[in-house]
Chain A
């Protein structure tokens, strides 16, 4: 079975632009979480979605938004990009939203903002 897949793997944008990152969870998983990992730091929680509804949000500005589709895939959108948004964006999937016991992470999308 395929693991968590994220696209694109790398992305270069300029300040002020908008970006959309995509995530396909493991088959059968209904929950998707997004994390931001700035170079030299641990991942930081951005969002959790379950059954197409937002179940949790981290301390990120409103420029960050996400959604989950009926097939449980998800998109993360970031508007008005800043240099500080440069990071590895990780998607994680789990069977449901009631536990963080079994999170499976994708390899991430490396976003560079110039």
Chain B
């Protein structure tokens, strides 16, 4: 069964600083990988996804992520964080066959200091 680990429960960065959120996955084949963001009281918004091809993927709001098969990782990065980026971030692995369910990590809460 697939699984996703987000080692950092809570991260605080200063506005304008760079950001990296870690994600490790376990899946029996080449995975579909996603990063979602959730603001308080809101649903999930897709930031970016990796299905195949270039291992560095660009997303919305200036985010990018790099798929590293050897490390089973899909870390999310942003060069300069804005106060509006404060939210909960979820990494997910998607089944490529069958029921197509997403398995999410437990999330990383990002706090941005002025």
Contact = CB atoms under 8 A, between A and B. Distances in A.
Interface in A26-64: 33, 35, 40-45, 48, 55-58
A48 to B, nearest CB: 6
Contacts of B43: 4, 90, 105-108
A108 B21 CA distance: 25
Given A48-B101, A90-B44, A107-B43, A41 B107 contact: yes
B107 A56 contact: no
Interface string B65-103: 000000000000000000000000010101100111111
A56 B104 contact: no
Interface range on chain A: under 10, 10 to 19, 20 to 34, or 35 or more?
20 to 34
For the residues of A in contact with B, the DSSP-based class is: loop
Contacts of A107: 41-43
Given A56-B98, A100-B101, 20 more contacts: A42-B92, A43-B90, A43-B104, A44-B104, A48-B99, A48-B100, A48-B101, A55-B99, A56-B100, A56-B101, A57-B99, A92-B44, A100-B94, A100-B95, A101-B94, A105-B43, A105-B44, A106-B43, A107-B42, A108-B43
Q: Closest 9 CB pairs between A and B? A: A56-B99, A42-B104, A105-B43, A45-B101, A105-B44, A100-B94, A100-B100, A107-B43, A43-B104
23 contacts: A4-B43, A40-B106, A41-B106, A42-B4, A42-B92, A42-B104, A43-B44, A43-B90, A44-B104, A45-B101, A56-B98, A56-B99, A58-B101, A90-B44, A92-B44, A98-B100, A100-B32, A100-B94, A100-B101, A100-B102, A105-B43, A106-B43, A107-B43
